[in-house]
């Protein structure tokens, strides 16, 4: 049986007085690693650890009456998918950059994974992938619109532009989805605040869909990018087939790794022309240290995923 339990969680709820240090200390004492974000609008993050330790942290969170109904999505890993524990206080638990978006009270209609197919197969429904372009590139739902954003903060401008272009109006049925549910929940709250009447989002996100819906009935195509060392997952939340460029942090297929521009820890076809030769030499030296540490079965700072992209 795999050694490490992974929990992806979030909840939009008013948190005015949450402190980071007690939670950080608790996680460390139980061997739990990952990232948790705390803000006035709620909590968001993914953590992993031994099962008993992880469940102790979840129980601690739920002892707060405001987080009593906190839900999470579970998966397992043979290896610890994180290299350290971070608890950060933020302005937003998912950065949209728009004031007065109250997802805890204004989110659109939740749609359970078992009911999602029926909704998105309706030809009158506009299906929108709320994730960033590099995530969409390795997998999405059939017929979903890709806004081609580089960060979640660009989505409101895209919605405004598409409304003006006639893609949808305030009465259009719009279904939105994202990795774990947090971005689409906040997106539907934003749209409702703008006067849209019929907005829906996938409860639990793609991860819950891949966990719940059998592959034979699935409308999902490809793999789902995740923000940990697994890089991507497939149905059943089994690890996928993508690697990660440690320089530009973009997912790489086997074909990408076969490119003449791919040098592990130094460059890939996405970033090979973005750095000077001097920097490539430094990256090459770092990679040598990573490989030496790997041979000694040790961790190396160069292997960490601590500069994650916008979620």
pLDDT in tens, 56-110: 999 999 999 999 999 999 989 999 999 899 999 999 999 999 998 999 999 999 9
From 204, 215, 142, 149, select the one nearest 178 (Cα to Cα).
Answer: 204
Q: pLDDT band for position 148 (50/70/90)?
A: very high
Secondary structure letter of residue 203 according to DSSP: T
In the chain, which segments carry CATH 3.30.70.100?
4-89
For residue 281 the two structure tokens come to 């030499």
What average pLDDT does range 10-34 have in this prediction? Answer: 95
Catalytic residue among 130, 178, 184, 268: 178
Alpha-helical regions (H) of 125-264: 133-136, 155-165, 182-193, 205-212, 254-257
Q: Indicate whether this model's pTM tops 0.75.
A: yes
pLDDT of amino acid 291: 86
pLDDT 10s digits, 178-232:
999 999 999 999 999 999 999 999 999 999 999 999 999 999 999 999 988 899 9
What average pLDDT does range 157-175 have in this prediction? Answer: 96
Element (H, E) at 283: helix 277-295
pLDDT of amino acid 306: 39
**Res 302 pLDDT > 90:** no
pLDDT 10s digits, 37-51:
999 999 999 999 999
Query: Could you give the CA distance from residue 157 to residue 140 in angstroms, rounded to a whole number?
Result: 22
What average pLDDT does range 125-150 have in this prediction? Answer: 97
* Cα dihedral 267/147/198/172 (nearest 10): -160
Q: Mark whether 224 is an active-site residue.
A: no
What CATH number does domain 4-89 carry, 2.40.50.100, 3.10.129.10, 3.40.640.10, 3.30.70.100?
A: 3.30.70.100
What average pLDDT does range 297-311 have in this prediction? Answer: 50
From 190, 196, 192, 222, select the one nearest 209 (Cα to Cα).
Answer: 222
Query: Could you give the CA distance from residue 47 to residue 82 in angstroms, rounded to a whole number?
Result: 8
Is the separation of the CB atoms in 250 and 244 below 8 Å?
Answer: yes
From 167, 165, 172, 199, select the one nearest 185 (Cα to Cα).
Answer: 199
For residue 280 the two structure tokens come to 């490539």
Assign residue 19 a region (left: φ > 0; alpha: ψ between -120 and 50; beta: otherwise).
beta
pLDDT of amino acid 299: 60
Query: Could you give the CA distance from residue 182 to residue 205 in angstroms, rounded to a whole number?
Result: 8
The answer regarding whether domain 103-222 maps to CATH 3.40.1410.10 reads: no
The residues, ordered by sequence, that sit 6+ positions from 2 with a Cβ below 8 Å of its Cβ are 76, 77, 78
For residue 48 the two structure tokens come to 């992993």
**Res 1 pLDDT > 70:** no
pLDDT averaged over the chain?
Answer: 93
**Res 300 pLDDT > 60:** no
In the chain, which segments carry CATH 3.40.250.10?
103-222
What average pLDDT does range 269-295 have in this prediction? Answer: 89
Query: Could you give the CA distance from residue 4 to residue 39 in angstroms, rounded to a whole number?
Result: 27
From 182, 195, 196, 183, select the one nearest 126 (Cα to Cα).
Answer: 196
Q: How far is CA 126 from CA 13, 198, 215, in A?
A: 28, 11, 23
Query: Could you give the CA distance from residue 311 to residue 303 in angstroms, rounded to a whole number?
Result: 20
The residues, ordered by sequence, that sit 6+ positions from 179 with a Cβ below 8 Å of its Cβ are 131, 135, 205, 206, 207, 224, 225, 226, 227, 311
């Amino acid at each position: 049986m795999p050694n490490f339990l992974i929990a992806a969680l979030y909840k939009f709820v008013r948190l005015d007085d949450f402190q980071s240090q007690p939670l950080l200390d608790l996680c460390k004492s139980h061997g739990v690693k990952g990232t948790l974000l705390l803000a006035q609008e709620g909590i968001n993050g993914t953590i992993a650890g031994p099962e008993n330790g992880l469940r102790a942290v979840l129980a601690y969170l739920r002892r707060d009456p405001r987080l009593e109904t906190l839900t999470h999505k579970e998966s397992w890993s043979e290896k610890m998918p994180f290299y350290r524990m971070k608890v950060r206080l933020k302005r937003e638990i998912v950065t949209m950059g728009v004031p007065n978006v109250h997802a805890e009270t204004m989110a659109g209609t939740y749609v359970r994974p078992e009911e999602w197919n029926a909704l998105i197969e309706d030809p009158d429904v506009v299906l929108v992938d709320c994730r960033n372009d590099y995530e969409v590139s390795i997998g999405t739902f059939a017929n979903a619109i890709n806004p081609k954003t580089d960060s979640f903060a660009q989505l409101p401008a895209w919605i405004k532009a598409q409304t003006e272009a006639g893609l949808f109006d305030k009465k259009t049925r719009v279904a939105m989805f994202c990795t774990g549910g947090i971005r689409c929940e906040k997106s539907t709250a934003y749209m409702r605040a703008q006067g849209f009447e019929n907005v829906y989002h996938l409860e639990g996100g793609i991860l819950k869909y891949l966990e719940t819906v059998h592959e034979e009935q699935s409308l999902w195509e490809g793999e789902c990018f995740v923000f940990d060392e697994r890089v991507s997952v497939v149905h059943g939340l089994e690890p996928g087939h993508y690697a990660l460029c440690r320089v530009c942090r973009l997912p790489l297929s086997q074909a990408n790794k076969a490119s003449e521009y791919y040098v592990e820890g130094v460059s890939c076809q996405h970033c090979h022309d973005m750095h000077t030769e001097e920097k490539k030499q430094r990256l090459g030296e770092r990679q040598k240290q990573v490989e030496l540490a790997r041979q000694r079965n040790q961790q190396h700072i160069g292997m960490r995923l601590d500069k994650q992209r916008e979620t």
